[in-house]
Amino acid sequence: MFITYNPGRYDGVLVLIPDAIGFEDIGWDPDMSGTHYMGKHAYYYAELVGPDSSDQYTIRQSHNDCTPSCANGNTTSKDLRWNGSDYVA
Q: What is the pLDDT along the chain (89 residues), one digit of tens a residue?
A: 999 988 888 899 999 999 999 999 888 777 765 555 777 888 989 999 999 999 999 999 999 999 999 899 999 999 999 998 889 99
Amino acid occupying residue 49:
V
CA 69 vs. chain centroid, Å, equals: 23
CA distances from 9 to 6, 21, 35, 46, 70 (A): 7, 33, 12, 11, 12
Q: Decide: 15 and 24 in contact? Cβ < 8 Å.
A: no
pLDDT, position 8: 82
Report the candidate in 62, 64, 56 with the shortest Cα–Cα distance to residue 83: 56
Q: Decide: 82 and 43 in contact? Cβ < 8 Å.
A: no
pTM here is: 0.84
pLDDT, position 27: 82
pLDDT, position 38: 76
